[in-house]
Amino acid sequence: MATEVIESQVQVKFVTKQEKYAVPDNPFTVQSNVLVADLNNVLNALLKDVHPVLGKPVEFDFLLCGELLCSSLNEHIQEKGISTEDTIELEYFERFPAPSPQDCLMHDDWVSTVQANSNWILTGCYDNSIHIWTAKGKHTLAIPGHTSPVKAVSWVSLDRNQAVFVSGSHDQTAILWAWDVIGNSVECMMTCRGHEKGIESIAVSPDAKYFATGSWDTNVCLWNSSLSDEDSVPSKKRSKPEHGKSREPLTTLKGHREAVSAVQWLDNKTMLSSGWDHILKIWDCELGGMTTEIIGNKAFFDADWSPLSNSIITASADRHIRLYDPRSQENIVKMTYTSHMGWVQSVCWSKTYSTHFLSAGYDGQVKLWETRSPKTPLYDLSGHEDKVLCCDWSNPALLVSGSCDNTLRIFKAKHANHGI
């Protein structure tokens, strides 16, 4: 005789910080094996009674013990060692909508670096060129000037008539450019010389007065981003007259033992760097010395810090993304995110959501993560056909990525009212 399997039941209480979606906090009985979709049905049925003006159903995500619910409720309960005798509190919030694919912008070579602002997208290529695109995907300008692959680009300032940006290359130089937006012409204002090997990363300070470069020569150089020539010298090595004047670094920060893969300003005086030597360093740029050192177990290919969460995410060769709290005395990994099937090459925090970030890898994947979901990304942003070398979320509305398939892919982020 067949044995009837009786599913156990649990008591759950729904709570939220989003007042417009609040429901009575009295406990409800549900099957222990319910999935997120089932919980959504229960919650929307409750909302229909409490808030009939909402109309169509709302998609929610659920937090249990500080982690996003991705499996069945029962699996999550067992994994966290929660007693089913107690009422289980489920915090819910509106799900971040899936970004929608917008454009695929073709380049002539690998797209190695990208940064967007409110109106424009800046890309750098392995064919030594820089490109400016509109946020809607129209090609505006192709800029020659470097003599080796462009590995880093960053906007310095932008107004209606003129934009200033900086690029770094394996030709060991960083170039400050002035772009006449109205006339759509660009001029090389300064060639910054000071590294002995290729430049891998660039970051502009929040007040836009300085920028930093990280290089394969293991050094971090700090530069004045002004277009004035007060601290500049005529370039003796200049081969083209349009390459303006040459500038030397204000300071050189020494301490890494291998290539510096990423640099980022935490504020106008403090900077983060990551290296192939498995080390993250935080620098006091005024004193020119290191204040914090975090030692990892793999080479860091990229690192990004969020002012919203004061947390650092890192990309490494072992397929894992790690989250660090720079304030922690132990400097241990707070969370590890595992889903990529190849090296993770680039990571980037959202500028508006404290718990969201992007990652890009050699497996051809771009992933959108929630920090409270370490095993399962929110979304896979598919489309690239080769290794993905860079990703950027500087414009909150655009998620962009560049690849060895010679394309830049743009996804449009939809608004979500998380209230967190």
The pLDDT, as a whole number, for residue 159 is 85
Q: Which CATH number fits the domain 100-412, given the four candidates 2.130.10.10, 1.20.120.1200, 2.30.29.30, 1.10.600.10?
A: 2.130.10.10
Each residue of 291-303: pLDDT tens digit? 999 999 899 999 9
For the record, the structure tokens of 50 come out as: 């409490």
pLDDT of residue 294: 94
User: Which CATH code for domain 9-94?
Assistant: 3.10.20.90
Task: Note the pLDDT of residue 170.
Answer: 98
The region of weakest confidence among 194-203, 230-239, 318-327, 394-403 is 230-239
pLDDT at residue 4, rounded to an integer: 42
CB under 8 Å to 6, separation ≥6 — which residues? Answer: none
Q: Point out the least confidently predicted range of 186-200, 241-255, 354-368.
A: 241-255
pLDDT of residue 401: 98
The pLDDT, as a whole number, for residue 127 is 98
Which residues of the chain form CATH 3.10.20.90? 9-94
User: pTM of the entire structure?
Assistant: 0.91
**52 CB neighbour count, 10 Å cutoff:** 8
Tens digit of pLDDT for each residue in 58-88?
Answer: 999 999 999 999 999 999 998 888 888 889 9
Q: What are the tens digits of pLDDT across the range 316-369?
A: 989 999 999 998 877 789 999 999 999 999 999 999 999 999 999 999 999 999
At residue 419, the pLDDT reads 39
Which residues belong to CATH 2.130.10.10 in the chain? 100-412
pLDDT over threshold 50, residue 216: yes
**What is the model's pLDDT at position 418?**
46
pLDDT confidence of residue 235 = 44
